[in-house]
Structure 1
Amino acid sequence: MRVLIDLDATPAPAPESARPVPWRTFRVAIAAAVLLLLGAAAAPAKARVFPRVADTGGRSSLAALLTPSTLYTVHAGKTEQDGVEVVARALTPGAPSWRAPASNLSVTETFTLTRIGSVLVISGQVSMAVLDATTGKERWPTTEWSGLKVAGNRVLLGESDGSDTVRLADVETGRILWTRKGQVTAATLDASGRNLVMIDDSGNVRVRSAATGRVLATGSFNQSPEQEGVQAVRVIGDRVYVLVPNSVTAYTLPGLTPAWPVPALVGMPTEATACGELLCVLGGWGITALDPATGAKRWSVPGVTDYTDGVARAPDGRIMTLDPRTGQVIAKLGRGQVTGGLMLRAGAARTEVADLRAGRTYGVLPGVLPYACTAAGDFVACPDNGGTAVWQVSRTGS
């Protein structure tokens, strides 16, 4: 048998064997892979941009009120004689949407918008309008009265001729509940809605029954709240707190009997508010918590200029949360605006929206700063070039 050998054929390649990888090369490869993974994990997620859902079309706002369904704004009329125009912009299906003139309100006033029951109250320094919050129609005429003062769901009406007569009316209907002689500089309805605390120019105080107008107690604070002696008078719960330089005095309602053995010493008090079960008083140097039963000091924190619902602000704008029982700082949140359980921080040409307590960032509002922004429901409203704009936000992580 003959065996043919092809001298021109290329021999079959030898089986390829795996080459050993030097240990140094292996370590470098592993390190590179780890760095790649870490880099991918550390790369910041793109912030969610919340959608802008309403605005005033560049029209300047004299006042604005955001609710969970509607943006209410006040704008100057075409002429001074036109007064102002009030606009409701719907943010959710079926929400109010209307425009209404209010010629009795002057553009020179500073306005406050308040939603009380079924009405929208537009209050200025000397005038007021009460509109149906759903339709924008005037609920009842206010032009025949002067010195109107809202107290809870009631409104005090003064005579336009300046006579010493005061009437209390239901704010939704304008129905007169009672008429009494006297003058009123300030008035507050207590939390029960039964006691109306009224103060005149001389610092005299009367507690009247909100239902009948009957005088329940009288007293004197010697100075009016507008003068230097009395810094402020606040009704919290069933107590009246009078803030004068360097002390706070408490009286019980409705009898105006002293609640504490002696006034509580607080340096230059300017404001008082409830903080948990205690009374928090803001003063010239910080915040002081008092026992409302005795006036004894429970804790104090220096360098606080504002306090609401456990959130304190320092003079430089830093925000912190405090334990209302002890005054201990729970968290330092930096600078920004707190509203509706959100922490709004200024970023690069935008506002960052974060959870107030957890600090988790939800998203951003482009092109605005957080100052004077307000939140209600799923919306945040902010000043925008003189007007007002609204964004729909989601309270879940971005």
Structure 2
Amino acid sequence: MALIELDLTAQPGPVPPSIPPARRYRTSGLVLAVALVFVLGGAGGPDTLGWRFLGTIASPPIPESPFQLDGDRVYTAGGLGDHRTVSAWSLAKPPAKLWSVAVPAREIGPDQVAYGDVRAATVGDVVLITDGPETTAVDARTGAARWHTAIGVHPLTGGRVGLVQDPKFRAGTEYNQAGGAPGDLYFSATGVPHDQPPVTTEFRGVDLRTGATAWTASAPGSVVYFDHPSGVVVLASDRLTLLSSTTGAVRRAIALPTLAGQQPQSGRLIGDLVLVSYGSEHGDARSLVAYSVRTFQQLWRVPQAKELVDPGVCAGLVCADAASGVSVLDPATGHTLWHAPGLDLVRVGADVLEQDTGTSDAVRVVDPANGDDELWLKGWSSDITAADGSPLLLRRTDDTRVSMFALVEDDPVALRPLGATHGVVSDCATDSSFVVCRGTGVLQVFSYRG
């Protein structure tokens, strides 16, 4: 194993938290969780569309553990007591169970377990099953157990290596939950809250086939990381580093300057840009700086206004906080293209979806170059969980509470009706071929692309 230390003598200082402080979770954050699933996809050709009911899958009505649509499979979770049962289903006609596996329930105290947020995803030849911070890997074909860890493992591009982010805290900084004092909270890899940022953050690359540690690296203070095809981008308060996903070796690193006495506070990755925000969220002298992932060269810098109480979401676009809403920027230059006051923005393929802030109510599709209207969507909702690479599907409910679906086509932009569910449904998921919705005690499965 190679141990790579990233300037451990640096002072942690005010830094972007590895997990955002608990007080910062707002309605817009919940919207973002729904909105981000549209970011990476684009609409495919509509010439083979055809709505077809494939059948149902038995599913317990447990909202804390939603089902997952994953390619040509659906994963469901159920069970009570000390174990959970995760099942894999093929999306044939009718859907058929492939396997079921028991995984340990997450403990929350002596003799107590919680139905956390059990999720499953195929990564290469394994399925990663998570419940809170814990991860269990099973064989994708048979469901046989491979390995288990109490810390979350996040798969990286390529599907061979997963990443563990493990902050290390000073003794005595664990948050007194009984006292309930206000302030920022920072969480350990196992979910324990602390009231001071970590002294250092350790990264471990994990072989997803075996669970063995492939490499380790560390950085001072609290950091955030981004998965990119060229490697793992690590943003700290004083530097930007690119690590190899397979070996952990440092491929590139630069020191980050202070601007108007401010250090980097947060960041995000949009395509090949690392966007670094300077200044506290409600303070003065805020700015947004863009760096190229490929070279780490600074491309541009723009000022930002004080962040609004509920600034809304900007997903898949380069945006800066403005005095009222956000400004959409040209990724190449940072120049303002157009303003969007009071709406959430989500990039979908070649277009941008606008929706009411704090809701999933779709408003319109606009041109990303200038914000001009392309399609009004009154009465439609974007509350469908979509996989990467999916086109934009919308749904609306009629007087009988049946859900109807439509696809937003591109070039030219148009709304194409698909079909309807069999009776009342709640949460729905989609990818480029299937739609799955939770009915009463079952999942309804439809295909819409031949």
1:343 counterpart (355, 370, 394): 394
The answer to whether the 8 A contact 1:355-1:395 is kept is no
Alignment counterpart, residue 275 of structure 2, candidates 241, 245, 248: 241
Amino acid at match of 2:443: A
1:197 paired residue among 227, 233, 242? 233
1:188 aligns with 2:243: no
| 1:271 CA drift (Å) | 5.4
For the pair 1:308 / 2:339, whether they are aligned, the reply is: no
For residues 242-391 of structure 1, the aligned pairs below 5 Å read: 242-243=276-277, 245=281, 247-253=287-293, 256-260=296-300, 262-265=301-304, 268=307, 273-275=315-317, 279-280=318-319, 285-309=324-348, 310-315=352-357, 317-334=361-378, 335-337=380-382, 339=386, 340-341=390-391, 342-348=393-399, 349-357=401-409, 358-369=414-425, 372-385=427-440, 389-391=443-445
Q: Which residue in 2 is equivalent to 1:86? A: 86
Work out the number of aligned pairs and report it: 330
Cα distance in 2, alignment partners of residues 282 and 161 from structure 1:
32
The alignment status of 1:213 with 2:215, answered yes or no, reads no
Q: Distance in 2 between matches of 1:198 and 1:391?
A: 40
Bigger mean CA deviation after superposition, 111-120 or 319-328: 111-120
Distance 1:395 1:89 in 2: 19
How far apart are residue 52 of structure 1 and its match?
A: 6.3
Q: Quick one: percent identity of the two aligned structures?
A: 23
For 1:320, the aligned partner's letter is R
The CA deviation at 1:92 is: 1.4
Which amino acid is 1:209 matched to?
Answer: S
State the match for 1:113 in structure 2. 120
Q: Give the equivalent residue in structure 2 for 1:139.
A: 146
Q: Report deviation, 1:129.
A: 1.8
Distance 1:66 1:85, change over 3 A: same
Q: Alignment partner of 1:263: what SS?
A: strand
CA distance in 1, matches of 2:57, 2:325: 38
CA 1:281–1:52 in 2, change beyond 3 Å: closer, same or farther?
A: farther
Between the aligned partners of 2:290 and 2:446, the Cα distance in structure 1 is 43
Task: Give the aligned partner of residue 98 of structure 1.
Answer: 99
Does the 8 A contact of 1:53 with 1:392 survive in 2?
Answer: yes
Structure 1 distance, partners of 2:329, 2:257, is 21
CA contact (8 A) 1:105 1:128 kept: no
**Aligned residue type for 2:353:** V
- The reply to whether residue 168 of structure 1 matches residue 205 of structure 2 is yes
Q: CA-atom RMSD, angstroms? A: 3.7
Q: 1:271 to 1:354 in 2, by over 3 A?
A: closer
| Partner Cα separation in structure 2 for residue 177 and residue 284 of structure 1 | 47
Q: Secondary structure at the match of 1:174?
A: coil
| Letter of the structure 2 residue corresponding to residue 63 of structure 1 | P
Q: Compared with structure 1, are the counterparts of its residues 284 and 176 closer, same or farther at alpha carbon in structure 2 (3 Å cutoff)? A: farther
Q: Match of 1:60?
A: 62
Aligned to 2:18: none
Shift of 1:240: 0.9
3-state DSSP of counterpart to 2:80: coil
Letter in 2 for 1:302: P
Deviation of 1:241 (Å): 0.8
Contact residue 336 and residue 344 of structure 1 kept, 8 A: yes
Partner amino acid for 2:55?
V
What residue number does 1:11 align with? none
Q: Deviations over 1:70-126 (max 9, x none)?
A: 211222x331x22x2211122217976111111164544334433323332223442
Check the 8 A contact 1:289/1:297 in 2, yes or no. yes
**Structure 1 pair 352/266, CA: closer, same or farther in 2 (3 Å)?**
farther
Q: Residue 392 in 1 paired to residue 446 in 2?
A: yes
Give the letter aligned to residue 325 of structure 1. Answer: A
Aligned to 2:163: 156
Deviation at 1:66, TM superposition (A): 0.9
For structure 1, the 5+ residue unaligned runs are: 1-47, 223-228
Change (3 A) 1:133 1:211: closer
Distance 1:203 1:125 in 2: 31
Would the alpha carbon gap of residues 257 and 97 (structure 1) be closer, same or farther in structure 2, given more than 3 Å must change?
A: same
The Cα of 1:361 is off from its aligned counterpart by 2.5
Distance 1:271 1:249 in 2: 19
Compared with structure 1, are the counterparts of its residues 281 and 112 closer, same or farther at alpha carbon in structure 2 (3 Å cutoff)?
farther
Aligned twin of 2:27: none
In structure 2, what is the Cα distance between the partners aligned to 1:240 and 1:60? 38
- Cα displacement (A) at 1:373: 1.4
Q: Which protein shows a greater Rg?
A: 1
Normalised by the size of structure 1, how large is the TM-score? Answer: 0.69
